[in-house]
């Protein structure tokens, strides 16, 4: 037995699930930061819009939660969370691959959604009655984060 055959599957599972939560959270931090910068500018001029700004800033943060869900399911499905995991390398690659849609989709969609949210905050600043249109635009980007979550979850549930 070698180190790779003994621990390679667990390492790949941990790497994949760690990337799912880590990259999704990095994207969420970037996206909420982008929206927050735009929101801070608007709130310095009109603090009464803080509730709507917070809703728009919050939306890119959902990807981090989706990544955490994928991490949690990977830990349960692999048996790592129960403490008795003995994962072969091929199974580790399967877990790694199952976590990739959420890792990449969560990261990139959160950043894109942050940009859309920032633009939506500009709508709120210029035409406050039309802010829901910006919310819908953010929801369209959210759809792709949900597809990433769905893809990862369906693959994890088959392992």
Tell me what pLDDT residue 1 has.
56
**117-152 per-position pLDDT tens digit:** 999 999 999 999 999 999 999 999 999 999 999 999
Q: Which domains does the chain have, with CATH numbers?
A: 3-157 (1.20.120.610)
Per-residue confidence band for 8, with pLDDT thresholds at 50, 70 and 90 = confident
Q: Which of 7-42 are b and which e, b meaning 16 or more Cβ less than 10 Å from the residue's Cβ?
A: ebbbbbbbbbbebbbbbbbbbbbbbbebbbebbeeb
Per-residue confidence band for 159, with pLDDT thresholds at 50, 70 and 90 = confident
Alpha carbon of residue 88 to chain centroid: 28
52 has pLDDT over 80:
yes
- As a residue count, the chain comes to 159
């Amino acid at each position: 037995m070698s180190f790779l055959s003994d621990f390679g599957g667990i390492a790949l599972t941990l790497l994949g699930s760690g990337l799912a939560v880590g990259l999704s959270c990095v994207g969420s931090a970037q996206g909420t930061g982008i929206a927050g910068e735009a929101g801070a500018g608007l709130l310095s001029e009109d603090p009464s819009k803080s509730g709507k700004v917070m809703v728009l800033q919050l939306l890119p943060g959902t990807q981090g939660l989706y990544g955490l869900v994928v991490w949690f399911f990977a830990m349960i499905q692999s048996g790592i969370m129960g403490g008795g995991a003995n994962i072969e390398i091929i199974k580790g690659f399967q877990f790694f691959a199952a976590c990739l849609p959420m890792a990449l989709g969560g990261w990139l969609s959160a950043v894109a959604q942050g940009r859309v949210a920032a633009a939506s905050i500009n709508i709120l600043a210029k035409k406050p009655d039309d802010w829901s249109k910006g919310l819908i635009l953010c929801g369209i980007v959210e759809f792709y984060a949900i597809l990433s979550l769905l893809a990862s979850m369906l693959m994890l549930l088959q392992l």
